[in-house]
Amino acid sequence: MSLQSLDITRRSATTTPPPQQRQQQEVAKLIDVTKCIGCKACQSACQEWNDLREEVGINEGSYQNPHDLTENSWTLMRFAEHEQNGTLEWLIRKDGCMHCADPGCLKACPSPGAIIQYSNGIVDFQEEHCIGCGYCVAGCPFDVPRISKKDSKAYKCTLCSDRVSVGLEPACIKACPTQALVFGSKEDMIDHANDRIADLKERGFDQAGLYDPAGVGGTHVMYVLHHADQPQLYNDLPKEPTISPTVGLWKGVLKPLATAAMLFTALAGFFHYVTIGPNDAEDNEEDHPA
Amino acid sequence: MKTETHSRLIRRYTPPERANHWLTAITFILLAFSGLALFHPSMFWFTQFFGGPVWTRILHPYIGVVMFLSFAGLALKFWHHNLISRNDVEWLKRISDVIRNREDRLPEVDRYNAGQKLLFWTMIATIPTLLITGIIIWRPWFAGYFPIDLIRIAVLLHAVCAFVMISGIIVHIYAAIWIRGTVGAMVRGTVSRAWASKHHPGWYKRILQDGDKS
Ligand code: HEM
Ligand code: SF4
Ligand code: SF4
């Protein structure tokens, strides 16, 4: 949604600065996995605020429903059962867009303005500019964007950019009954997380820690994890996510170099013609038998 | 046809061959423009030729399938003229004479020169790769069936092959302008005797001897 049009830090497939006169404080959502009870109030609140409905699915033997993120379900509680030292841990993670500081989706997107990043850190898809190519799916290190079967546009969590722009917290935050979800400036959220981590360590979770992966420049959705050393336990949360090197080669190296090389090839032809000139057989026809 | 029976003209391509070439050429140009529009923002305005950005994305792969089938026709027809010979290696070593129009210093060229053959084999490698990688990234139909890692490799390979092909075709188009009398070979189907004896003497000799029209 194009609400905060004066504070755009990055705009997909755009080579000049986007409107960025207004600067905002960086925000973040903190998901404290250790406090989550898996009630899915956030999942419902997301659908309610965004006025979307997931199709009624089938039970596949877990609380997880739907089974994956979809164009209608921008956030999803993922449930994992983990056994360690004879105890069973039920690890529940609220999945969705991480609002990366260095967003792979935006880097990959070929359509100008289909993905923008606001100065507050929110990465937002502008569906009216989306062409449905799916490059954002290849660019995202967290497997987040989903292409709609109805309109072939990409959809994902907006971090309620429409609510945040008018000073409200995201819908999921408002719905959470245990305050496992909190929202504020990124700085405050890191402070809050550190208090929580100190508390968890006191209670025996030595490896408790904050998930704010540096490989993507940090994220504007962060987790407090009891096992921060093994994020993959939480339904394959990547340990050290980065924009894939393949995507880096494609967009970082090939795109500018190949464009320049093709232009150079065409210019080389032109200059060959005006210097060395055409090769005309009729010029020395008499040298050859007819 | 009058032009073909004219004593000073030699037929180089039959009407079906010419039609096949131009179908491939037109679809290729459409693919290059629609693909480049998505490749770099400086060329995004090419989407205007296709009815806008979304139509560009939709149309490109269908045009690709037509181009592939059309190219397959050309490849089946012409592959045997493109086998590499010892002369070709020598020709490539003297590329600076080629560029300076000093054809008298080059080894005898048959129906195609080494540059043309090189482009042919480059197309044999890249066009099927473009088809396969294009299908892997084709939304909404096929991309959903492939893992994201594979899609990433496919989209990179697709862009690399497209870059190689487009660069090659720029040279191909320029060569047709540079070597006077070449465009007629593919438009009217004929070339002059002077053209044949200067640029493709090996082929010309065979025609004089046994009227080989291939
Ligand atoms: C042979 C069949 C082909 C198929 C099935 C195919 C399919 C595709 C698809 C699905 C895309 C993604 C965008 C979209 O959905 O439209 C794409 C992108 C592209 N294609 Fe093709 N294509 C083919 C041939 C070609 C050829 C021959 C060229 C070169 C002239 C080409 C150049 C490109 C380029 C430059 C891109 C953009 C890549 C990027 O953004 O980095 N394609 N193609
Ligand atoms: S599907 Fe839409 S948002 Fe995603 S990369 Fe393509 S144009 Fe951009
Ligand atoms: S998690 Fe994926 S979709 Fe969200 S900002 Fe990062 S790269 Fe983009």
pLDDT at A4: 56
Quick check: pTM over 0.90?
yes
pLDDT at position A71 over 80: yes
Residue A86: exposure state from Cβ atoms within 10 A (0-12, 13-18, ≥19): exposed
Dist. CA A3–CA A20, nearest whole Å: 13
Residues framing ligand 2 (Cβ under 6 A): A 12, 108-109, 111, 114-115, 125, 130-136, 145, 154
Q: What is the 3-state secondary structure (H, E, C) of chain B?
A: CHHHHCCCEEECCCHHHHHHHHHHHHHHHHHHHHHHHHHCHHHHHHHHHHCCHHHHHHHHHHHHHHHHHHHHHHHHHHHHHCCCCHHHHHHHHCHHHHHCCCHHHCCCCCCCCHHHHHHHHHHHHHHHHHHHHHHHCCCCCCHHHCCHHHHHHHHHHHHHHHHHHHHHHHHHHHHHHHECCCHHHHHCCEEEHHHHHHHCHHHHHHHHHHCCCC
pLDDT, mean of residues A75-84: 94
pLDDT at position A245 over 90: yes
- Per-residue confidence at A258, pLDDT binned at 50, 70, 90? very high
Domain boundaries, chain B: 15-81+129-167, 83-112+179-214
Cis preceding-peptide flag for B140 (omega within 30 of 0): yes
The percent of residues above 70 in pLDDT, for chain A, comes to 96
- Record the tokens describing residue B116, joined without a space: 């043309």
pLDDT at B2: 39
pLDDT, mean of residues A225-254: 97
Distance between start and end Cα atoms, chain A: 73
pLDDT, mean of residues A170-177: 98
- Record the tokens describing residue A282, joined without a space: 């009729």
- Decide if B155 and A244 are in contact by the 8 Å CB cutoff: no
Instruction: Classify A165 as helix, strand or coil.
Output: coil
Q: Which residues fall within 8 angstroms of residue B80, CB to CB, at 6 or more apart?
A: none
pLDDT at B3: 42
| β-strand partners of A182 | A30
Q: Which residues fall within 8 angstroms of residue A97, CB to CB, at 6 or more apart?
A: A74, A123, A142, A144, A145, A156, A157, A159, A221
Residue B197: list chain A partners with CB under 8 A.
281, 288-289
Residue numbers of A between 236 and 255 with CB closer than 8 Å to B: 244, 246-247, 249-250, 254-255
Residue numbers of A between 268 and 287 with CB closer than 8 Å to B: 269, 272-273, 276-282, 284-285
Mean pLDDT across chain B, nearest whole number?
Answer: 94
pLDDT, mean of residues A72-92: 94
Per-residue model confidence as pLDDT tens digits over A40-59: 999 999 999 999 999 998 99
B208 vs A183, more confident: A183
A236 vs A78, A89, A193, A232, B199, CA distance in Å? 10, 15, 22, 4, 63
Per-residue model confidence as pLDDT tens digits over B123-132: 999 999 999 9
Question: A226, A243 in Cβ contact below 8 A?
Answer: no
pLDDT at position B214 over 60: no
pLDDT, mean of residues A125-135: 97
- Decide if B178 and A269 are in contact by the 8 Å CB cutoff: yes
User: Which domains occur in chain A, in start order?
Assistant: 5-233 (3.30.70.20), 245-287 (1.20.5)
- Nearest-by-Cβ selection for B57 from A131, A244, A255: A131
Q: Which of A141, A96, A140 is nearest to A238 (CA)?
A: A141
Q: How far is A52 from chain B (nearest CA, A)?
A: 21
| β-strand partners of B9 | B192
pLDDT at position B187 over 90: yes
User: What's the fold here for domain B15-81+129-167?
Assistant: Fumarate Reductase Cytochrome B subunit (1.20.950)
pLDDT at B1: 38
Q: Which of B123, B141, B129 is nearest to B57 (CA)?
A: B141
pLDDT at A32: 98
Dist. CA B50–CA B46, nearest whole Å: 8
pLDDT at A5: 78
- Per-residue confidence at A1, pLDDT binned at 50, 70, 90? very low
Residue B149: list chain A partners with CB under 8 A.
244, 246
Ligand of minimum distance to the alpha carbon of A121 = 3
- Whole-complex ipTM: 0.94
pLDDT at B211: 67
**β-pairing, B190-192 with A123-125?**
unpaired
pLDDT at position B6 over 60: no
Dist. CA B139–CA B158, nearest whole Å: 15
Residue numbers of B between 135 and 154 with CB closer than 8 Å to A: 137, 139-140, 143, 148-149, 151-153
pLDDT at position A283 over 90: no
Please tell me if the CB atom of residue B136 comes closer than 6 angstroms to any atom of ligand 1. no
Please tell me if the CB atom of residue A154 comes closer than 6 angstroms to any atom of ligand 3. no
- Record the tokens describing residue B129, joined without a space: 């790769």
pLDDT, mean of residues A4-24: 92
Dist. CA B78–CA B73, nearest whole Å: 9
pLDDT at A60: 86
pLDDT at position B213 over 60: no
B179 at A interface, C-beta within 8 A: yes
Per-residue model confidence as pLDDT tens digits over A147-165: 999 999 999 999 999 999 9
pLDDT at A282: 84
Per-residue model confidence as pLDDT tens digits over B61-73: 999 999 999 999 9
Dist. CA B26–CA B29, nearest whole Å: 5
pLDDT at B189: 96
Q: Give the angle subtended at the CA of B26 by the CAs of B73 and B119, to the nearest 5°.
A: 60
pLDDT at B212: 54
B200 is known as an active-site residue:
no
